Amino acid sequence: MEKEHSILNQVDDKDLSNFLKYLINVKEYSSNTKESYAYDIAEFLLFLDSINVDKKNIKKEDIQQYLMYINNRNISKQSIKRRLCALRSFYKYLVKYKIVVSNPFETISSTKGEKKLPHFLSEKEVTELLDSNEKRTDFLKDRDQALLELMYASGLRASEVISLKINDLDLDSKLVKVKGKGNKERLIPFNNHSKNALIKYMSNTRYQLLEKRKEEKETDILFLNNNGSQLSRRGIEYLINQIVIKTGFNMKVHPHMLRHSFATELLSNGADLRTIQELLGHSSISTTSIYTHVTFADLQKTYNKVFNTPSSNDFGVLFDFNGTLFFDDYEQEESWKIIAKKYFNVELNKKDFDTIHGYSTAITLSRLAKRELTIEEVESFRHERIEIYKSLVYKNNPRPELVSGAIELFNKLQEKNIPYGICTSSTYEPTLWYIKTFDLLKYFPLEKIIYFDQSIKNTKPEPDIYLAGQKRLNVTSFVVVEDSLAGFISATRAKASGIIQMSQDKSVIKNDMCKYLIHDYTSLSDEVLSFLHLKDN
């Protein structure tokens, strides 16, 4: 929360302020949604300020740069999707009121949300939590018990629980009236355990909490905090965390877990999705359908344990970029020769590039200078070399293309549902150029393009970058396609299940660390295809 306020305090934007008022007064969005939008948009405006771009003049390239920026902070797909939604709405508003001409986010497709299965408690675990809490003897036990019982029995969101009023309860019929997202009302049943816990809380503890209330006006809010005021979302998270601590329960619990447990229990006992959708207040059945994955995941887990069947994410493929997906050895080497001669009076020969290809720019520059360079020096040399490199690329090939057969290979991997990605020692600036030049986002989700930045401690020949790639693909084993000695060592240290060596030079001999040697991706042998899990047995 402090982080959110600090970001908002750094932004003074009249259009953003007016937009937030518009969300509440015109669109009737909840205050929670408004706060999320405010943070996401303010973060984007600060990013634009850092790259000296006005919000009224942004281009697709600026948005791609922003996506790379947040992706390499390990932000989840779901959070990225939320940010894009907020920004799309903000620019739609700016277009509506003629502040900008067009909405640049209309053509930016939302990243697919991660297929995260919801965390939930089993019936046995919920019973254990409720029984443990019932044994407490402190003052707030009855309030906490009523809250736990109701949340589990009715599947309420935290935001819905804190807004409940006394009159929303019909204890005789055991129904609670809830105002959910979009101000949609629904009636949800609860059980006898919840009814008894609520009566006990309301007849005793709630009155004592009201006596602590400092506000003059009475309140009909059902659940109160220790000071007799309305609970906040953060307050309910804290409250449940305290329950776990006080009861000694051996699992971390958050409010939404009780909602997930409610839905999962219904589904496991034969309830249909439409019923669960109504009870949860989901506007779309597709949102509810995630709970089918929970039960299926349990079945699949049991099956795999019995039959030792690997899941689809047991294997992936990681590609180096330079010299592997794009043949640019000449341009790389010539640009380094120019820098080495111009600034360090060093004449580089072919053998020298065994210790340049695959290594970071900082390491190579330090070797040439025979000292450790400052960050400013490295960045200056890096930028100049990249500009020389790019000019050589365009001079030799005005329309650069990926290695022959690469796109067809990507398509085959997609057809087989084999995850794949890029792991390059290049830094942010050249990686962004590769993405634009080769339209890489057509073949690789942005988060599957891993480059050398502050999130990766050491580059090749250390294993860090391939370990990061393995984590991004979420695989237990992976094959690496590489062209450099540093890359071979890096992949070996990362315990890759095998390495395919790429070389444009057909006179090159296969390195001992590699399983196969190829010269492009066309007409791959049956052995290589099997190695890539692309050949049916």
282 has catalytic annotation: yes
H helix or E strand, kind and range, residue 481: strand 477-482
* Strand order through the sheet with 449-450: 449-450, 420-423, 315-319, 477-482, 498-502, 516-518
- CA 374 → CA 364, 380, 527, distances in Å? 13, 10, 47
Candidate list 81, 119, 177, 181, residue with the active-site label: 181
Cβ atoms 402, 412 nearer than 8 A: no
Tokens representing 394 are 């365009």
Rounded to whole angstroms, the Cα distance separating 81 from 74 reads 13
- CA 532 → CA 97, 172, 369, 414, 521, distances in Å? 53, 64, 41, 12, 12
Sequence-distant (6+) residues with CB within 8 A of 489 are: 460, 461, 513
SS3 assignment, position 421: strand
Sequence-distant (6+) residues with CB within 8 A of 315 are: 418, 475, 476, 477, 478, 479, 497, 533
434 has catalytic annotation: no
DSSP 140-196: THHHHHHHHHHHHHH---HHHHHH-BGGGEETTTTEEEEE-GGG-EEEEE--HHHHH
Candidate list 82, 157, 206, 260, residue with the active-site label: 157
Tokens representing 272 are 């249909």
Q: Phi/psi at 518 (nearest 5 deg)?
A: -130, 160
SS3 assignment, position 470: helix
66 has catalytic annotation: no
Q: Phi/psi at 516 (nearest 5 deg)?
A: -135, 155
Which of 476, 421, 500 lies closest to 311 in space, CA to CA?
476
Rounded to whole angstroms, the Cα distance separating 323 from 328 reads 6
291 has catalytic annotation: yes
Tokens representing 415 are 């057809």
Candidate list 91, 152, 291, 466, residue with the active-site label: 291
- CA 61 → CA 51, 65, 437, distances in Å? 12, 6, 12
Candidate list 77, 82, 259, 385, residue with the active-site label: 259
Candidate list 82, 83, 260, 282, residue with the active-site label: 282
181 has catalytic annotation: yes
- CA 299 → CA 259, 278, 294, 303, 508, distances in Å? 21, 26, 9, 6, 49
H helix or E strand, kind and range, residue 43: helix 31-50
Candidate list 119, 193, 233, 256, residue with the active-site label: 256
DSSP structural state of residue 307: H
Catalytic positions: 157, 181, 256, 259, 282, 291
